[in-house]
Structure 1
Amino acid sequence: MEEARPDTASSSSLAARLRRRADGIRERLAPHWDRRWVRWIAIGLGGLMAAFFLFWLIFARGLPDAATLLEYEPPLPTIVRDVNGQPVHSYARERRVQLQYSDYPPLLIRAYLSAEDKTFFDHHGVDIPGFFGAVLDYVTKIGSGQRAKGGSTITQQVAKNLLIGDEYSPTRKVKEMILAYRMEGVLTKQQILELYLNQIFLGRNAYGVQAAARAYFDKDVADLKLHEMAYLAILPKGPANYRPESPTGHQRALERRNWALGEMAKNGWITEAQRSEAMAQPLGTVQAHGSGFDARAGGYYMEEVRRRLIERFGEKAEDGPNSVYAGGLWVRSPYDPKMQELTATALRNGLLRFDAGKGWSGPVGKIDIDRGWQRELAASYVGVDYAGWRVAAVISRDSSSAQIGFADGSAGTLPAGAAQMPYRRAGGPAFSSLKPGDLIVVARNGSSWALRNIPEVSGGMVVEETHSGRIRAMQGGFDSRLSSYNRATQAMRQPGSTIKPFVYAAALDNGMTPASIIVDGPLCVYQGAGLGQKCFRNFSGGSAGPQTMRWGVEQSRNLMTVRAASQTGMDRVVRTIKAMGIGDYQPYLSFALGAGETTVERMVNAYAMLANHGRQLFPKVMDYVQDRHGKVIWPLRWRPCDGCNMPNWDGKPMPRFGFEGRQVMNPMTAYQVVHIAEGVIQRGTATVLADLDRPLFGKTGTTNGPTNVWFVGGSPDLVAGVYIGYDQPRSLGGWAQGGRVAAPIWKAAMAPVLETMPKTPFVAPAGIRMVTIDRRSGKRVYGVWPTDDPKPAVIWEAFKPETEPRRSIRKEEVAAQERAAARREASAQARQRTDSDFLQDQGGIY
C-alpha cells in the first residue's frame, strides 16, 4: 500500500499566508522598532508563529487528502427488483439512502444546525470558542474516566467519520481541525452538509437522515413534520440515549427534542407558535422494523442471487466499488412473486403430505435459556412462514403444559394434549421430550398453542423459461430460515429415469428412430472375475419383449434404456449428457439409468434446452446489474435495445433478441425427444398431469431404494422440475415413485400458472417429417388418422428425413439391416464385458 503523504500544497499555502502576515506586522512596527518592547513582541509573535507552523506540520503529516471527499461515495445497499420491476429485496449491513443536498427540506437542515453547529455557515471548519470549551472540559475530566464533550463542528464530524476514525484522544481532535480546515477549502458548505446528512449513524441500523426517517417515522424526509425533524436532529449525539422503546430513553428524547426546538426558535428559524405547537406533540415514532422489504419473500431465490453477486463482485467495500453490501447495485431479476408463492406452497404441502403420520421430527434449534430467551431467540434468526405457524422457545415445562415465548417478547401456553404426536427418534409423545431452550414450531389453537412438525424429508423445485433460461421461481426446502441449504442448486442427487431422454437422444443421433424396436428382455453384464455378472431388471420386474423406443420411454423401461445405451455406446451417451450441462460422467452403463449426481437446476435447464430445440441455455437468476450511477456492469457484453421504448418507437417492427447459446443438440433430435416425452403425460408414468389438457412433456424419475423421486417437464414456454428426498439419502418407502409424489407437486405449482397461458403446441424445426405409425409396432400406417383417444393405436411420429418407416423394403435391405443389428449387438456385448465399475445397486432405478 502506498504510504500516505502530507498535503504539501496546503502546508506551503499556509506558510505563505503566515509569511505575508509577518511581513505586514513588521511594516506596521517598523516606525517603532527602536523601542525594546516592540522588538520583544515581534520576536515572540514570530516564535509563536514558527511553533504553530511546526505543530501544524507534525500533526498534518500522514493525513489523507481532503480532496478525496469530492469522489467519496457512501456505502449503499444492493436492491433487487422482480420481473415486474418492483423492489423486492435488499442486501445491506448499513441501511442508507443517498440524497442530494437539494432533496433535504431547509427546515430539516436548520434543525441539525441548531442541534449540532449553529455557526456552520460562518466558520471555516473550526468553531474556536467551542474548541477551547471542549479543551477545558477535557482537562477537568482527566483521570475521572468520563468522556469530555465533543465541541466538534459538522465539518469536523465529517472528517472524523470519513477520514480519521473515532479514536478518543487530543491528537485526533487536532487532526480533525486540520482536516476540517482543508475540507472547507475544497468543498462547499452544501457539499459538506450533504456528506454529513447521508453518512451519520442515527440508530436502528439507519445511516443517513432519509434511512432514519423511514426507520423512526416510516416517512420520507420531505414528509416529516417539525417535531419529527427535531427528534432526528438530536440523534447524532447518541441514538442509544434517546430510544423511544425505553421509558427513560423516551423521556430523554422528549426533553432533548424540545431543547432543539428552542434552539431553532432562538436562531430565528421558527416562530414561538411553531415551537409551542411542536413541543406539544408526542414523539410519534413507529415500532422498529426491518428494511421495508418482506424478509420472507423468495428466501432461497434471493440467497442464490446474493451468492452469485458475491462471486462476481465481492462482498465488502474492500472487494471493490461494486461490492454487494456497499456498492449500491441495482439488480433486475426474473423473479416472479406469484409464481414463487405457488412453487413454495406446492412444495411445502407436498412435503407435509408425504411426512404426515410419521411423528414429530424434533426441535428446529436450541438456545441457551439462561442468557435470556427473548434475546437469544431473536438472535437465532430461526423462523417459519407457513399458515400462521411460528417459532417459539420452550421456557419451562411441567406435567400439564409448557410455557413458550416468541421473538417479539410475547409468551403463551402449550398444553400437553396439543403435543401428543409421537417423537420419531425417542418414542413416546413429543411433549415429554420438550426441554427448556428447545425451539419448536407451533400454531394458534384457540387461546393456547399446538405443536406442529417440520417435515424431515425435503426437496427442491425450479421453474425456468425455455427461450431464455431465466429462472422465474426457486424453492430449496421448507423454509430458508430453518435451513439455508438450497436443495434446488446445492444438493447433488441421482436423477434416476429423468436422465433417460438424453440417453435416447444419443441413440436418435446415432441411427435409431422413435419407432426403432428395442428388446425389453433380460440383459446381463460381465463385470470381471471378482464381481461376476450383473443382470438388470425393470422397476416393476418382468419384460415385454420387442417394443418401440417411444413405448420404452413412456413406460420408463430400464432394460430397454440400458440396451439402447449399450448399442449406441456409453461414450456417446455421456458426451450428450455433458453437452446438456447435466454432469461429466464416466462411460459406464449405470449412468444411463441415472446413477450420476446432478442438481434440480441442471436438470431443469437441460429439459429447457430440449424445448428450445437443443440450443444452449444458462440458468439466470439475474437479468442485468447496474451500478449506483445506472451503468450496466453485468452482463459484460450488455447492449441496450435501441428503439425498444415507446417514446423512441419509429413505427417499425419492434427489435427481436437473437439466440444467445450455441447449438448443443441437433434441433430435430431435441424435438423428437420432446415429442416422445409428450407421451409420458398422455399415457405413461405421469398421467396425473393429463387432465391439464395442454401440450406438455416430461419424465418421472425414481432412484433405487427409492431414495429420490423426480419429475421434470413443462410446456413450450416454461419447464419446471421437482426433487424429493432426505438430506442424508435413505429409503422413502416402497410406494414412493416420481409419478405419485413429485408429479402432483409439479401439478399443484404449475396448473395455476399454465391456466393463464395459451395452449401453445411444440413447434417442429425445419426438416422434421410427421408420419402416422402404429404406436406399438412402429410400422407405418396409411389411410388412418390419429384420434383424440389418449391411447390411440395410430399416432403421429416425428422422423428425420429419410428415416421414417418405408412402405416396402427389399429382401437384400432386410438382410443388411439384420447384419448391422448383429454387429451392433456384438459390439455392445464387448463393451459390457469391460464395464467392471458398474454399480451393484442400480438395477431397480425407475
Structure 2
Amino acid sequence: MVQGGSTITQQVAKVMFLSRERTFARKLKEYLLSKRIENHFKKEEILEIYLNQIYYGHGTYGVEAAARLYFDKGVGDLSLGELATLAGLPKAPNSYSPFNNPRAAVRRRNLVINRMLGSGYITKEMAQTATEEKLKLGKLKKTPNDVPYFAEHVRRHLFTKYGSSKLYHQGLKVYTTLDESWQINAQNTLMNGIEVDDRRIGYRGALGFIDPSKEKPNWDDINPPQKKTASWEYFAPGKRLKALVKNVTKDAIMVEVNGVKGVIRKDGFSWAHKFDPKADGRNFEPVSDATKLLKPGQVIEVKIIEKSGNGTLQLALDQTPALQGALVCMDYSTGEVRAMVGGYDFEKSSFNRAVQAQRQPGSAFKPIIYAAALDKGFTPASIVIDSPITFEGTGTDWKPGNFKQEFYGPTTIRTAVIESRNIVTVKVLQSIGLQYATEYARQLGLKSKLESNLSIGLGSSSVNLLELTSVYSVLANGGVRNEPYFIRRIEDNSGQIIERTEPVANRVMPEDTAFLMNNIMQGVVEEGTGQGVRALGVPTAGKTGTTNDFMDAWFIGYTSGVVTGVWVGRDQEETIGRGETGGHAAAPIWLDYMRGVIKNLQIRPFMPPKNIVFVRINKSAGLLAKPNDEDSFFEAFREGTEPKQYAASLAKTAEPVKEIQQH
C-alpha cells in the first residue's frame, strides 16, 4: 500500500508516533515501527487506522467525519465521485478542499478516478459517470479548524483512550480548558511574530521563473483558484499570493496577480536584504534599489495591502517563513491550558512543537538551578566569582563562557540571573550538586531526560515548551504545582460523564523561595535580557533563553494568574540567524500576545510572604549599604539570611575583562 513517497504503514507510523524532524534517526525509527505494525496488523486493519487518522482539512480527521463534513452523509452512502474527492484530499487538504477551491478539487478528483481506471479498479463507464458528476456539498459547519493545534492535541488523547469507534461513530462531548479568544490571539501573534523574525533574517529569493515569451502563466496552478474572475473579495488585505514580476524600476516592482496589475513600492521591499543567517539581521541597510533584487519573469510571493482606485493592487514583497514557533498559555492557579499553538501553519505541518518537539532551552533552564540554590542556603545577594573555569573531560575539556566572552568578577546571584551569566550558573550548580539539582527539577515537574553533567545548568538537555512553562507556573504560583490539563470533562452520547479532571495542587517549593525567584526574575524584565517585555506595563517576571549558534529562542514569563511560554526556531537544528536571541526573537511575540490577555486579568503585584524582609544593600558587594551609597537598593531576603556586614567601599561594579586567548 503506497501513498505519495511512503507506504500507508509508514504514514501511520509518522502520524501516530513520530516527530517531523528530518533526520536519519527518525527515518530509521519510521522503518522499524512500520515493520512492527505490519507484523501485528493485517493490511486491512492498517488501512482502517490510516483512514481514521488522516487529516482531511477544516479540522476534520477520519474518512467518516470527512464524509459528513463535505457531503453531509455517511461514508457508506458516498458516490464514486465523492469518494474520489475525499481520496484526493490528504496530499494538500487546504488546497484541494472543495469548499476552498472547487475547481482544484474537481481536477484532483478526476486524477484519482483516472488512476483507478488505469489500475483496473473501475470501468470506463464508471469513470465517465464519476468525472461528469457535479460536486454537491453540504453546508460547511463550524469545526475546531479555528483552533487546530489545540483541537488535534485533544483528539489524539480521545483516540488513544477511547478508540475510533467511540470517537468517530458513537460520539463524545468534550469540555476543554480553551479560551477561544486567547487562542485566536495566540495564533495571530505567533504567526505575525514569526513573519517579522523571518523577514529580519533576509529574503530567500524568487520561487521560480516564467518566460512570458514562451509560456502564459496558468494562475489556477500558481494560486488557489478564484470563485469569480478578479473578485475583489479574493484580494483581501493581508492575504499572501504568488505574483509574476512584469517590470522593475529602482523604486517599484510591477507585477501581475491572477491577471490583475499590482505594484510593490519601496516601503514594501526595503526589508528584503539578501538572506544571510551568519549576519545580524538588525544591522542591514534597507534595500533602496529594486533592480538589484528582482527581474521580470520571476515568480514571487506578495502580501495584499489594498486596492487603489484605478484597480491596481498595492502590495508588499513577502515570503512564507522558514522559521517555526510555538506558544503555550496556562492559568497557573489551576493548571488549565488556555491557549496552545504548535506551529506557524497547521495545514502545512500538524506537528505540535509545543508538546511534541524536544529543544534545548538554553538560559530559560537557569531559574531551576537558582531556585534549587536558594533552597540550599544561597541568597539573592550571595557572591560568586565570575572567572574562567575548565572542566577536564575524557576527550576534550569543557570551558564554559559568557555570552559576550567576558568575565565580571564578584557577581551576586541576582545579577547572574538578570544578566544571564553562564559561568556563575555552572559554579552554583557545581556547589549545590548535580544530583540535587536534577531531583529538584523533577520535583518541579520536569519529565524530560536530563544529561548527567554540569552543562544542564546552561540548558543543554532538551525539553518541550509545555513542561518548561509548567515549571515556571510553580514559581508564579508561590511554589505550588498544578499539573497542566486540556480537558475539564467528557460526556458520552447519553450525557454520562466518563472523564473529569480534578485539579490537584501540590507544594513542591517553599513559598519564600518562589517569591525570591519571582523578585529576581522581575529584574530580568526591568533591566535584564527580557526588558523588552517591560512595555506590558504590569508586574511581570520571566526569563529568556538562547542556545548555541542561535538555534533556539525562548521567553517564558508570568503575571497576575497567567504564565505564557514562547519558542522560536527551525525544525531542523540550524541557526535562526545571528543575534536572534530569546529577548529579540521570542519576547516580542510574548509581549504582543500578553497585551491582549491582560485586558481580561485582575492585575496584582507579587506579594511577599511574612518571613521575607527587605534590606538596603550595596549592589556590587551584596552587603549592607552605607549611608549615601549610590550603588544600593533594597534586596529581598528570607528572614535571618540578610547580611550583617557593611560593604567596605562605595566602588561601582568593576569593568568586565575579556578572556585572554592563548595561541
**TM class, shorter-chain normalised?**
0.5 to 0.7
| Alpha-carbon offset, residue 698 of structure 1 | 0.5
- Asked if 1:560 is matched to 2:424, the reply is yes
SS of residue paired to 1:616: strand
Q: Does 1:608 align with 2:473?
A: yes
Q: Hey, what's the Cα distance between the residues in 2 that align with 1:808 and 1:540?
A: 32
Quick check: 1:711–1:742 contact (8 Å CA) kept in 2? yes
Instruction: Tell me the residue number matched to 1:22.
Output: none
Secondary structure in 2 matching 1:620: coil
Q: Distance in 1 between matches of 2:457 and 2:143?
A: 46
Counterpart pick for 1:329 among 172, 175, 187 = 172
Does structure 1 residue 678 correspond to structure 2 residue 522?
yes
Instruction: Tell me, yes or no, if structure 1 residue 292 matches structure 2 residue 142.
Output: yes
1:608 positional shift: 0.8
Does the C-alpha gap of structure 1 residues 697 and 750 become closer, same or farther in structure 2, counting only changes over 3 Å?
same
**Structure-1-length-normalised TM-score:** 0.51
**CA shift for structure 1 position 483:** 1.9
Alignment correspondent of 2:634: 795
Q: 1:301 aligns with which of 147, 150, 154?
A: 150
> SS at 2:391's partner residue?
strand
Q: Measure the CA separation in 2 of the matches of 1:746 and 1:495.
A: 16
Q: Which has the larger radius of gyration?
A: 1
Amino acid at match of 1:793: S
Equivalent-residue separation in structure 2 for 1:704 and 1:606 (angstroms): 23
Which digits, 9 at most, give the CA deviation of each residue in 1:377-420, with x for residues without a partner? 79xxxxx999541567x9x999999987xxxxxx6557798999
Q: Match of 1:682, SS?
A: helix
Q: Secondary structure at the match of 1:484?
A: coil
Give the whole-Å Cα distance in 1 for the aligned partners of 2:603 and 2:536. Answer: 10
**Is 2:451 the partner of 1:589?**
no
- 2:587 match: 743
Give the direction of change, closer, same or farther, for the CA distance of 1:591–1:95 in structure 2 (3 Å limit): closer
Give yes or no for the alignment of 1:688 onto 2:532.
yes
Change (3 A) 1:632 1:546: same
- CA deviation after TM superposition for structure 1 residue 691, in Å: 3.5
Asked if the contact 2:532–2:588 (Cα under 8 Å) also holds between the matched residues in 1, the reply is yes
From the two aligned structures, give the one with the greater strand fraction. 2
Q: 1:763 aligns with which of 601, 604, 607?
A: 607
- Aligned: 1:628 with 2:493: yes
Residue 742 of structure 1 and its aligned partner are, at CA, apart by 1.6
CA distance in 2, matches of 1:629, 1:497: 50
Q: Give the direction of change, closer, same or farther, for the CA distance of 1:331–1:440 in structure 2 (3 Å limit).
A: farther
Deviations 1:525-572 (A, max 9, x none): 1113x32x3322210122221121111111111111011011111121
Residue 388 of structure 2 is aligned to residue 522 of structure 1:
yes
Q: 1: distance between equivalents of 2:554 and 2:566?
A: 6
Query: Deviation of residue 756 (structure 1)?
Result: 3.8
Q: Distance in 1 between matches of 2:459 and 2:174?
A: 36
TM-superposed deviation, 1:489: 1.8
1:660-711: CA deviations, max 9, x gaps? 1333333332222122111111221112222433221101111111111111
User: Any conservation in 2 of the 1:574–1:584 contact (CA below 8 Å)?
Assistant: no
SS at match of 1:752: helix
Deviations 1:183-212 (A, max 9, x none): xxxxxxxxxxxxxxxxxx9xx99xxxxxxx
Whole-Å separation in 2 of the counterparts to 1:593 and 1:749: 27
Bigger relative contact order (CA 8 A; separation at least 6): 2
Give the 3-state SS of the residue equivalent to 2:437 in structure 1: helix
Counterpart-to-counterpart distance in 1, 2:259 and 2:484? 45
Q: In the alignment, which of 456, 459, 463 is matched to residue 325 of structure 2?
A: 459
Instruction: Write out aligned runs for 1:198-277 (5 A).
Output: none
What SS is found at the alignment partner of 1:356? helix
Which residue does 2:211 correspond to in 1?
A: none
> Aligned residue for 2:505?
661
Give the whole-Å Cα distance in 1 for the aligned partners of 2:472 and 2:237.
33
The structure with more helix, counted as a fraction of residues: 1
**CA displacement, residues 342-369 of structure 1 (integer Å, 9 cap, x when unaligned):** 22222222222222262246769xxxxx
Amino acid aligned to 1:488: A
Give the counterpart of 1:504 among 342, 362, 370.
370
Alignment of 1:362-377 (within 5 A): none
CA deviation profile, 1:165-224 (whole Å, cap 9, x unmatched) = 99xxxxxxxxxxxxxxxxxxxxxxxxxxxxxxxxxx9xx99xxxxxxxxxxxxxxxxxxx
CA distances 1:501-546 after superposition (whole Å, capped 9, x unpaired): 1011121222212221111111111113x32x33222101222211
Residue 289 of structure 2: aligned partner: none
Relative to structure 1, is the Cα distance of residues 499 and 417 closer, same or farther in structure 2, using a 3 angstrom cutoff? closer
- Report the counterpart of residue 754 of structure 1 in structure 2: 598
Judged with a 3 Å threshold, the aligned counterparts in structure 2 of structure 1 residues 375 and 689 are, in CA distance, closer, same or farther, namely: closer
Counterpart of 2:634, as a letter, is I
Shift of 1:587: 2.5
Contact 1:578 1:584 in 2 (8 A): no
Which residue identity does 2:141 align to in structure 1?
A: S
1:346-495 correspondence to structure 2 within 5 Å: 346-356=189-199, 358-360=202-204, 388-389=238-239, 412-413=259-260, 429=294, 432=297, 434=299, 443=304, 446=307, 447=311, 452-495=318-361
CA distance in 2, matches of 1:304, 1:740: 29
Q: Once the 2 structures are TM-superposed, how far is the Cα of residue 593 of structure 1 from its aligned partner?
A: 0.3
Q: 1:454 to 1:797 in 2, by over 3 A?
A: same
Q: How does 1:116-265 map onto structure 2 within 5 Å?
A: none
User: Percentage identity across aligned positions?
Assistant: 28
Query: Partners in 2 of 1:355 and 1:97 — Cα distance?
Result: 38
Q: 2: distance between equivalents of 1:97 and 1:456?
A: 33
Note closer, same or farther for the CA distance 1:726–1:541 as it changes in structure 2 (3 Å cut).
same
Matched, 1:700 2:544: yes
- The 5 A counterparts of 1:6-45 are none
User: For the residues of structure 2 that align with 1:753 and 1:665, how far apart are their CA atoms?
Assistant: 27
Secondary structure at 1:596 match in 2: coil
Question: How far off its partner does 1:766 sit?
Answer: 5.7
- 2:399 is aligned to 535
Cα 1:552/1:621, change in 2 over 3 Å: same
Output one character per residue of 1:771-825: Cα deviation in whole Å (capped at 9) or x when no partner: 44333322245999x9xxxx982214031x533323699xxxxxxxxxxxxxxxx
Instruction: Tell me the CA shift for residue 441 of structure 1.
Output: 7.0
Judged with a 3 Å threshold, the aligned counterparts in structure 2 of structure 1 residues 302 and 697 are, in CA distance, closer, same or farther, namely same
Shift of 1:292: 2.8
**Structure 1 residue corresponding to 2:159, chosen from 310, 315, 338:** 310
Structure 2 unaligned runs (5+)?
1-51, 53-57, 69-73, 87-130, 209-217, 226-233, 249-253, 277-291, 648-663
> Is residue 576 from structure 1 mapped to residue 440 from structure 2 by the alignment?
yes
Aligned AA for 1:630? G
What is the match of residue 773 of structure 1?
617
SS in 2 for 1:515: coil
> Which of 806, 826, 834 in structure 1 is aligned with 2:644?
806
Alpha carbons of 1:767 and 1:453: their partners in 2 closer, same or farther (altered >3 Å)? same
Displacement of 1:579 in angstroms is 2.6
8 Å contact from structure 2 (residues 483, 504) kept in 1 = no
> Match of 1:709, SS?
strand
Of 546, 568, 576, the match for 1:724: 568
Preserved CA contact (<8 Å) 1:422 1:429: no
Cα–Cα, structure 1 residues 416 and 766, in superposed 2: closer, same or farther, change >3 Å? closer
Is the Cα–Cα contact under 8 Å of residues 626 and 646 in structure 2 kept in the other structure? Answer: no
Distance in 2, matches of 1:683 and 1:711, equals: 15
Contact 1:681–1:697 under 8 Å retained in 2:
yes
CA contact (8 A) 2:551 2:576 kept: yes
